[in-house]
């Protein structure tokens, strides 16, 4: 797209694109209404009210697109001039609602404009985040910031219902192909306000969409599996988390290093829980050296090293939302150490004192016999060790075959 040189040039470019009514034109128009496109920085487009409806420039003869564009200029004004993110967000909701009422609901047997709709929803989500940042949490003793995300979710959900009800259109023109993109938008909003339970019907709809899944854009499928994997991770469904995040990582373009890195931040802990440790080279290539000491500690069964690594990189792990999950790697680390002890002892009956000695060797001095028994009992209950505790004789009696099953096999049960 050529650079926009004036307001007339801006309308002229959109006008020429609106005549074509094909998907590529929709993608180009989407940039012309994006808050992140180059045009959004042009001061001559930061207009509070672009004339009266009867006098302002028309985009072709399409009054709906005309109104959407003029509202977009109003958003630009509030973002860059008035710096009023609350008004900008409410105006963006108007745009999305107008698009739903006049385009999604009324324009049958066509979907070339969906890229424009996707961009409008993305900007609504981003503006909701900015509006939230402008509201103080203690204005009247309580925070109302979630209302911005909730109003955005409501507007997008209304559009979702419109699109999924488009059952009569042919495969190439159905608006149902927007299902996945909108699900991704709602995933991001519900992650923000911690209401992931609201996603259950949306996930079920994707699971049951049949052949329509093949019509979704690969970018949307990658994003969906990334969000689904994150949700599954927090739900402790490690197998679904691994499957989804692996799909996202493998299908994310090689040149999108930053996105692949985001996926790995969640895939690595999941893999570690399943007994698969990342290589030092992988961590270095994706600038994830914060995991290096964590991985080394879990592999060696070194509890003190694990605690030190978590404390050292605590800010990074908390920011990513994985600190609590990484703390749970302590049980895997205990298991690794206990497996080493069993190999050294060489018998099926292992004195608990041997485990205490090993713990002291790796710098853990605050685990007494009762706590040690609890740790071992938890490992047995979670099937990470096959055996039983003899409290009377203070021994762990392990199975003579496969006493320490693979972690991936345990999670599959």
Same domain, 170 and 286: no
Give the model's pLDDT for residue 363.
87
Domain boundary among 171, 190, 209: 190
> Quick check: 55 pLDDT over 50?
no
> What domain range includes position 108?
7-133+145-190
- Binned at pLDDT 50, 70 and 90, residue 413 comes out as low
Indicate whether 336 and 399 sit together in one domain: yes
Write down the pLDDT at residue 49: 78
Examine the fold and report which residue of 327, 356, 389 is the final residue of a domain before the chain moves on. 327
Residues 307 and 341 placed together within one structural domain of the fold: no
- How far, in Å, CA of 137 to CA of 69, rounded? 33
Q: Report yes or no on 94 lying in a domain.
A: yes
Judged against a pLDDT cut of 70, whether residue 143 lies above it is answered with no
* Window from 148-157, 177-186, 281-290, 393-402 with minimum mean pLDDT: 393-402
Q: Is residue 344 part of a domain?
A: yes
Residue 58 has pLDDT above 80, yes or no: no
Residue 250 domain-assigned (yes or no): no
Q: Band of the pLDDT at 51, cuts 50, 70, 90? A: low
Q: Are residues 406 and 392 in the same domain?
A: yes
For 384-396, what is the mean pLDDT? 91
Per-residue model confidence (pLDDT) at position 144: 53
Lowest-confidence pick of 10-14, 242-246, 248-252: 10-14
The answer, yes or no, to whether residue 52 has pLDDT greater than 50, is no
**Domain-located, residue 293:** yes
Lowest mean pLDDT among 36-45, 96-105, 252-261, 404-413: 404-413
Q: What is the pLDDT of residue 214?
A: 92
Confidence grade of residue 141 (pLDDT, cut at 50, 70, 90): very low
Whether the pLDDT of residue 412 is over 90: the answer is: no
**Residue 256 lies inside a defined structural domain of this protein:** no
Mean pLDDT of the chain: 91
Q: Looking at the domain assignment, is residue 233 inside a domain? A: no
Asked whether residue 313 falls in the same domain as residue 365, the answer is no
pLDDT of 46 above 80:
yes
pLDDT at 54: 46
The answer to whether residue 336 is domain-embedded is yes
Per-residue confidence (pLDDT) for residue 137, from 0 to 100: 45
- Confidence band for 253, pLDDT divided at 50, 70 and 90: very high
Average the pLDDT over each of 42-56, 126-140, 252-266, 360-374 and give the range with the smallest value.
42-56
Lowest mean pLDDT across 203-217, 361-375, 398-412: 398-412
State which of 11-20, 120-129, 361-370 shows the largest mean pLDDT: 120-129
Look at the chain and report how many structural domains it folds into: 3
Per-residue pLDDT, 21: 86
Mean pLDDT of 125-146: 72
pLDDT at residue 365 is higher than 70: yes
Averaged pLDDT for residues 197-208? 94
Q: Which percentage of the chain shows pLDDT scores above 90?
A: 75
Question: Residue 341: which CATH number?
Answer: 1.10.10.10
Same domain, 31 and 173: yes
Last residue of a domain, one of 157, 190, 223: 190
Per-residue pLDDT reduced to its tens digit, 59-81: 555 788 888 999 999 999 999 99
pLDDT tier at 216, thresholds 50, 70, 90: very high
Q: How confident is the model at residue 53 (pLDDT cuts 50, 70, 90)?
A: very low
Query: Do 296 and 354 belong to one domain?
Result: no
Per-residue pLDDT, averaged over 281-293, amounts to 96
What is the reported pTM?
0.89
Same domain, 303 and 347: no
Specify the pLDDT at position 327: 94
**pLDDT cut 70: percent of the chain above it:** 93
Determine contact, residues 37/71, Cβ cutoff 8 Å.
no
Same domain, yes or no: 66 and 113: yes
Same domain, 39 and 161: yes
- For residues 47 and 165, membership in a common domain is answered with yes
Does 303 fall in a domain? yes
Q: Give the range among 153-162, 169-178, 294-303, 372-381 with minimum mean pLDDT.
A: 169-178
Same domain, 31 and 17: yes
């Amino acid at each position: 797209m050529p650079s926009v040189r004036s307001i007339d040039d801006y309308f002229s470019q959109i006008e020429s694109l609106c005549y074509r009514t094909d998907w590529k034109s929709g993608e180009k128009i989407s940039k012309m209404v994006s808050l992140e496109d180059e045009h959004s920085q042009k001061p001559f487009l930061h207009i509070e009210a672009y004339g009266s409806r009867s006098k302002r420039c028309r985009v072709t003869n399409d009054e709906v697109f005309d109104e959407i564009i003029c509202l977009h200029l109003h958003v630009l004004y509030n973002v860059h001039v008035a710096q009023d993110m609350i008004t900008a967000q409410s105006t963006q909701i108007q745009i999305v609602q107008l698009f739903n009422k006049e385009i999604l609901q009324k324009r049958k047997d066509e979907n070339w404009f969906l890229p424009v709709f996707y961009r409008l929803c993305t900007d609504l989500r981003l503006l909701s985040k900015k509006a939230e940042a402008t509201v103080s949490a203690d204005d009247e003793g309580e925070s109302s910031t979630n209302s911005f995300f909730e109003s955005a979710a409501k507007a997008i959900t209304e559009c979702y219902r419109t699109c999924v009800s488009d059952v009569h259109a042919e495969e190439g023109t159905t608006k149902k192909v927007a299902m996945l993109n909108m699900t991704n938008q709602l995933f991001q909003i519900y992650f923000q306000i911690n209401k992931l339970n609201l996603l259950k019907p949306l996930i079920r709809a994707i699971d049951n969409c049949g052949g329509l899944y093949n019509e979704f854009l690969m970018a949307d499928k990658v994003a969906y599996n990334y969000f689904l994997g994150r949700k599954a991770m927090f739900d402790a469904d490690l197998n679904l988390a691994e499957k989804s995040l692996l799909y996202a990582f493998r299908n994310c373009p090689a040149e999108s290093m930053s996105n692949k890195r985001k996926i790995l931040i969640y895939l690595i802990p999941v893999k570690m829980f399943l007994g698969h440790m990342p290589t030092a080279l992988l961590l270095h290539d994706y600038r994830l050296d914060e995991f290096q000491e964590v991985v080394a500690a879990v592999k060696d069964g070194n509890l003190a090293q694990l605690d030190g690594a978590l404390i050292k990189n605590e800010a990074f792990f908390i920011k990513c939302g994985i600190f609590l999950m990484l703390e749970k790697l302590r049980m895997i680390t205990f298991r690794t150490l206990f497996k080493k002890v069993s190999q050294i002892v060489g018998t099926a009956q292992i004195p608990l004192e041997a485990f205490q000695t090993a713990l002291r060797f790796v710098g853990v001095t605050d685990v007494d016999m009762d706590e040690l028994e609890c740790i071992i009992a938890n490992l047995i209950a979670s099937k990470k060790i096959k055996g039983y505790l003899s409290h009377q004789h203070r021994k762990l009696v392990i199975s003579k075959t496969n006493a320490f099953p693979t972690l991936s096999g345990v999670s599959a049960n």
